[in-house]
Amino acid sequence: MTSKNIKNEMLLEAKGLYKTYTQTSGFFVRRQKTIKALNNVSLSIKKGETLAIVGESGSGKSTLARCLLQLLSLDEGELFFKGKNLTTLKVEDKKHLKRHIQMVFQDPYASLNPRMKIGEILEEGLLIHGLGDKISRDKKIRDMIKKVGLEVADLTKYPHQFSGGQRQRIGIARALIVEPELVICDEPVSALDVSIQAQILLLLKELQKEFHLSYLFISHDLRVVRHMADRIVVMHQGKIVEQGSTKIIYEKPQANYTRELLNAIPGKHFKFKVS
């Protein structure tokens, strides 16, 4: 297969996704309200590309991520991963496919088990999916920890011994060790300082090149998205208001809401240029 073909190969396709939550309010008089978290959402991710989902809180972007990972069940809609329908697949086959979709979480403090050593955290995924024997697992873990910029000696440490940026590196290593094809990054840098943020963004880009990864990059920060994404999906109140290539969304936004978002970027006119 030539590299051109790889770029065009469809990895994940979502068609007409719906998800509603019901909210109960009131103490003496119960009122029920339904919230459409996903309202007819369709999108697709090609191999090797970064698709960003942007939107404000309550736009449904995290619900979408959880539905794509099948951590939440859909009300309606179809999910295809490499041409196979995930919504109708048997549990056993699904488990095999799900290895290829991994997630990097927002909060590096809450997403690592504090009682497990880093080596154990990385090995867990390999054990669950039955990948390799003890020797090959150990080698894989040692290679991966170096890939994300940490040291082999760190494998015997616990999560609390690391800073936020280092923990995010561990989270990335955990996602990548089972050799996924699609990584869903839910606000991976929003809890980090700006200098650490730059390191993690660059690391994600390097790893993408090396492993031909596709990213679904969820973010509310339109400056970060501009640096990461090939294509952008703009969500508002559960609906997709606009999608297109990064260049077109930023330079010729069609929807009013997109324009509003772009206008709200702090310091948007300023060109940071340091000689």
Partner 1 sequence: MKKILEVKHLKVSPINEPRKVLVNDVSFDLYPGRTTCIVGESGSGKSLTALSIMKLLSSQLKQTGDIYFEGKNISQLSNVEMRSFRGKSMAMIFQEPMTSLNPVISIGDQIKEALNVHLDLDKKHLNKKVVSLLKEVGIPDDRISSYPDELSGGQRQRIMIAMSIACEPSILIADEPTTALDVTVQAQILKLLSNLKEKRQMAMLFITHDFGVVEEIADDVIVMYQGQIVEKGTVKEVLKKPKHAYTKALLQCVPDAKGIKKLKPIQHRAFV
Give the interface with partner 1 as residue ranges (CB under 8 A). Answer: 56-57, 193-199, 201-202, 220-224, 226-227, 246, 250, 260-274
Side chain identity at residue 164, one-letter code = G
Distance (Å, whole) CA 146 – CA 195: 20
Minimum distance between the CB of residue 273 and partner 1, rounded to whole angstroms?
8
Distance (Å, whole) CA 48 – CA 209: 8
Q: What angle do CA 209, 258, 186 make, to 5 degrees?
A: 40
Q: Based on CB atoms, which residue is closest to partner 1, 85 or 163?
A: 163
Distances (CA, A) of 186 to 15, 89, 233, 273: 21, 25, 14, 29
Q: What are the start-end ranges of the E strands in the chain?
A: 10-25, 31-46, 50-54, 76-81, 84-85, 101-104, 182-186, 214-219, 231-236, 239-245
Minimum distance between the CB of residue 205 and partner 1, rounded to whole angstroms?
9
Minimum distance between the CB of residue 272 and partner 1, rounded to whole angstroms?
5
Which one, of 64, 55, 59, 85, lies nearest residue 19 by Cα? 64
Minimum distance between the CB of residue 54 and partner 1, rounded to whole angstroms?
9
Minimum distance between the CB of residue 53 and partner 1, rounded to whole angstroms?
14
Minimum distance between the CB of residue 32 and partner 1, rounded to whole angstroms?
18
Q: Which residues of 11-37 are buried (b: 16+ CB within 10 A; e: fewer)?
A: bbbbbebbbeeeeeeeeeeeeeeeeeb
Confirm if 206 and 213 have CB atoms less than 8 A apart: no
